[in-house]
Structure 1
Amino acid sequence: MFPLFNLSLQLNGFPIPKAKAELQKIVALSEKEYLLFLTNKKQEIVDFHLQNNPFYQQLVGETRMENWNDLPVLNKKNLQKPLLERLSKGYTPRSVYINKTSGSSGDPFVFAKDKYSHALTWASNIYRFGWYGIDFNSSYQARFYGIPMDFIGHKKERFKDFLSHRFRFSIFDLSDVVLEQFLTDFKTKKFDYINGYTSSIVLFAKFLQQKNIVLTTICPSLKVCMVTSEMLFETDKILLETQFGIPIVNEYGASELDLIAFQNPDGDWQVNAETLFVEILDENNQPVPNGTQGRVVITSLFNKAHPFIRYEIGDIGVLDEKSTLQKPILKTLIGRTNDVALLPSGKKSPGLTFYYVTKSIIEDDGNVKEFLIKQTKIDSFEIDYVSETELTLKQIQKIEAAIAMYLEPNLMFIFTRKTTLERSNRGKLKQFKSLL
């Protein structure tokens, strides 16, 4: 097949052959060579931005780096100013790749990557998907993503889908009638892999479970499914493996950076150490030992157009004790830093704790399809859910008792059954939201 995908990147000014060659060189480095590469790259990117980026100069307040751990941690609020004020000298909006973050952390902003840095992002994607026999030029993707609703944005996205050899399932309506149409598409198209938002793919798997269908029996060409952007719970992973009949790969990335971690064929969540430097930091911006949870802070080693140096992405995670500098392993991703519930006792708890507890109880009969939890007051929560039948009083009491045991007693809940749940304009489902 003609390499349309690679060609479209090159025509847009992204030097993909050069980026692929560089990535292969980095992957092939010995441990000693890698240490030297990383040390030099960190120094080089900081020096570049201290000399060429007024925004970063002002933030650091120095013209050279003495100690890496003394560098400020950049957060999303720092970046909420016009892009022109953040671009490095020699770069203009016309000469860079520009996009905006999804805003799932509540702080969206516009960002830029120089074209070589963006080509490396694609090289990194191509390399990792290649672990599972996927080739962006020839493998056919079933894509579960949102799509812009305005005419031009919609057409542009569809054209990108054509160039990227993918078929998009719009996820804004996931009613049974629509899922039935998805099923027809899987019967008639030879998809190689599935890629998209976790919650939508899980909903499709539940629909298949109801119908007692394993997806590979109607679409035998399927090899693998990559889920991204939202938490993948172990129970959901088992459901997906059962209903799809293929390996499920967990992906963790950020549009402003790159793929951050990607499950390798051994089942480890391998951190991208080729184009990024990932740290787990405590409250004082100091690295914590492997095995300890902290804030995920990331440095983009190649982006010269815009500084992402010690950039706090807004997640809490843990690196595995068996991690090495060259092959860091993400043990767990606990959730977003801003998804924390403040409780009457003064306790702070990750919002996902509610989600885990509630999920473990209402999974049993498959009645509840999806739910989200909102904290409205210090002691009050709303649980919106989509289900075949309303939750019984007994089920509700069971959920409340479990939450009292895992978190604390005397919290109040309002359960509301809905036909659909509110998703972001990109189709993401934010599973816990604090309105405090």
Structure 2
Amino acid sequence: MIRLFDLSLKLNGFPIKKAKVELDKIVHFSEEEYSLFLENKKKEIVDFHLKNNLFYSELAGNATAENWENLPILTKQNLQKPLEERLSKDYSKKNIYLNKTSGSSGTPFVFAKDKYAHALTWSSIIMRFGWFRIDFNHSFQARFYGIPLDFIGYQKERFKDFLTRRFRFPVFDLSDEILDKFLQKFKTKKFDYINGYTSSIVLFAKYLENNNIILNKVCPTLKACFVTSEMLFESDKKLLEKQFGIPIIREYGASELDLIAFENPDGEWQINSETLFVEILDENNNLVPHGTEGKIVITSLFNKAHPFIRYEIGDIGILDEKSTPKKPILKKLIGRTNDVAILPSGKKSPGLTFYYVTKSIIEDDGNVKEFIIKQTKIDAFEIEYVADAALVSEQIQKIKGAIDLYLEPNLNFTFTRKSVLERSNRGKLKQFQSNL
């Protein structure tokens, strides 16, 4: 069978073969060799950006890689300026991988990776899924995700799904009728694994529970289920294991970085130490001992197109006491939970649906700094946002159009521009909250 997945990466200019070789080398380092590799990579990436990236060298001032603790903590606010001002020398929109963050932390921005760094991201994903006998070139994925609803965006995603052997279950409407249709697909298709947003997959499991159905009895080819983008609570994990009859694997990542942590076959949440360096810091940006909670700060060791050095991702976590530099274990992730919106028609939509809606607000000019959406009544929502300039009626119409399309018509939205948004006691901005 043609290795379509690898081929599609190669055709898009991502040197996947070279990346797989390098990743394999890093994985087989001893602890000692790894520590040496890590120190060299940290120094190399900082020196590169100090020399070739004006945005980073201005931010860092006189700090150097030798005094790691003095390097600035990069925040999402720092990144809210046009991408051109943040790219390294010799990188432009022509020779990078370009994308937007989901804004699930409420602070959206456009980012870049160089092609080799992105190939390494894919190599790392391929390796980790391989722990569970999943091969992207041959395994068939049941994908619980959103999809752009405009014609071109929709066709593009569907074509990507074809190339990467995925069947997509759009998660904008998760009413029982739709979930029943999902179930029928599992009866007729030979899926190898499930991948997608936690809350949507949990809703599907609850539907199966109500109907006394065990999924791998209906679809015996299923090997594993990978949940991502939202918290998986212990009670939900037990429900998934019971209703699906397969291992449930937690994934924690960020589009601008990489897979950050991935549950290994021993049930440990293993941090990706091959392409990232993860630190847990206190309020004053000092390292905390393993076993203590703090903010997660991450350095991308290979991305030369755009600096992500000591980047504060907006999550709180705890490293396990038994972590080593080569094999750090995430003991607990605190943060990133999403509600489900219940609409007048009875339709249920995960809070992440709003990511597809708010994407229409997010322009590269960085005007909208942050936003949150609150459901105040069954048909009423408030969007609070922080921006340099107020949204104009044309933008509001565009958002309302997107809401009609993705959710349903006749919902009432009010837009309030604020100078600051309220945060949780952990400093986390919850992008969607339901007050119902």
Report the TM range for the smaller structure's normalisation: 0.7 to 0.9
Give the 3-state SS of the residue equivalent to 1:66 in structure 2: helix
Post-superposition offset of 1:283 = 1.1
Give the 3-state SS of the residue equivalent to 2:190 in structure 1: coil
Give the 3-state SS of the residue equivalent to 1:45 in structure 2: helix
Specify the alignment match of 1:58 in structure 2. Answer: 58
Give the 3-state SS of the residue equivalent to 1:278 in structure 2: strand
Specify the alignment match of 1:166 in structure 2. Answer: 166
2:255 counterpart of 1:255 = yes
Deviations 1:382-415 (A, max 9, x none): 88899xxxxxxxxxxxxxxxxxxxxxxxxxxxxx
The runs of 5 or more residues in structure 2 that have no matched partner are 340-347, 352-373, 380-406, 412-429
Which residue type is aligned with residue 202 of structure 1?
V
The CA distance in 1 between the partners of 2:89 and 2:198, in whole Å, is 39
The CA distance in 1 between the partners of 2:71 and 2:434, in whole Å, is 31
Which residue type is aligned with residue 314 of structure 2?
G
Q: Does the C-alpha gap of structure 1 residues 86 and 382 become closer, same or farther in structure 2, counting only changes over 3 Å? A: closer
The CA distance in 2 between the partners of 1:264 and 1:384, in whole Å, is 42
Specify the alignment match of 1:126 in structure 2. Answer: 126
Matches within 5 A, 1:13-412: 13-62=13-62, 64-336=64-336
2:9 counterpart of 1:9 = yes
Cα pair 2:375 2:434 within 8 Å, conserved: no
Give the 3-state SS of the residue equivalent to 1:279 in structure 2: strand
Cα pair 1:126 1:136 within 8 Å, conserved: yes
Which residue type is aligned with residue 162 of structure 1?
F
Identity %: 71
Deviations 1:141-188 (A, max 9, x none): 000000011111111111110110000000001011111110110000
Give the 3-state SS of the residue equivalent to 1:253 in structure 2: strand
The CA distance in 1 between the partners of 2:271 and 2:65, in whole Å, is 26
Post-superposition offset of 1:229 = 0.3
Post-superposition offset of 1:66 = 3.3
Q: Which runs of 4+ in 1 moved over 6 A?
A: 369-372, 381-386
Cα pair 1:371 1:431 within 8 Å, conserved: no
Give the 3-state SS of the residue equivalent to 1:57 in structure 2: helix
Q: Does the C-alpha gap of structure 1 residues 235 and 307 become closer, same or farther in structure 2, counting only changes over 3 Å? A: same
Cα pair 1:196 1:227 within 8 Å, conserved: yes
The CA distance in 2 between the partners of 1:69 and 1:199, in whole Å, is 38
Q: Does the C-alpha gap of structure 1 residues 236 and 370 become closer, same or farther in structure 2, counting only changes over 3 Å? A: farther
Which residue type is aligned with residue 259 of structure 2?
L
The CA distance in 1 between the partners of 2:261 and 2:63, in whole Å, is 32
Specify the alignment match of 2:359 in structure 1. Answer: none
Which residue type is aligned with residue 11 of structure 1?
L
Cα pair 1:144 1:169 within 8 Å, conserved: yes
Q: Does the C-alpha gap of structure 1 residues 434 and 24 become closer, same or farther in structure 2, counting only changes over 3 Å? A: same
Give the 3-state SS of the residue equivalent to 1:323 in structure 2: coil
Cα pair 1:370 1:385 within 8 Å, conserved: no
The CA distance in 1 between the partners of 2:31 and 2:322, in whole Å, is 15
Q: Does the C-alpha gap of structure 1 residues 174 and 433 become closer, same or farther in structure 2, counting only changes over 3 Å? A: closer
Q: Does the C-alpha gap of structure 1 residues 370 and 168 become closer, same or farther in structure 2, counting only changes over 3 Å? A: closer
Post-superposition offset of 1:432 = 6.2
Further displaced range: 59-68 or 26-35:
59-68
The CA distance in 2 between the partners of 1:35 and 1:159, in whole Å, is 42
Q: CA RMSD in A?
A: 2.3
The CA distance in 2 between the partners of 1:5 and 1:48, in whole Å, is 31
Give the 3-state SS of the residue equivalent to 1:299 in structure 2: strand
Which residue type is aligned with residue 13 of structure 2?
G
Cα pair 1:137 1:164 within 8 Å, conserved: yes
The CA distance in 2 between the partners of 1:54 and 1:234, in whole Å, is 45
Deviations 1:39-87 (A, max 9, x none): 0000000000000000001100127433101100001110010000000
Which residue type is aligned with residue 142 of structure 1?
A
Specify the alignment match of 2:400 in structure 1. Answer: none
Further displaced range: 57-66 or 87-96:
57-66
The CA distance in 1 between the partners of 2:75 and 2:202, in whole Å, is 31
The CA distance in 2 between the partners of 1:35 and 1:322, in whole Å, is 16
Q: Does the C-alpha gap of structure 1 residues 8 and 371 become closer, same or farther in structure 2, counting only changes over 3 Å? A: closer
Post-superposition offset of 1:312 = 0.4
Cα pair 2:375 2:433 within 8 Å, conserved: no
Give the 3-state SS of the residue equivalent to 1:67 in structure 2: helix
Superposition TM-score, scaled by structure 2 size: 0.79
Superposition TM-score, scaled by structure 1 size: 0.79
Q: Does the C-alpha gap of structure 1 residues 434 and 61 become closer, same or farther in structure 2, counting only changes over 3 Å? A: farther
Number of aligned positions between the proteins: 358
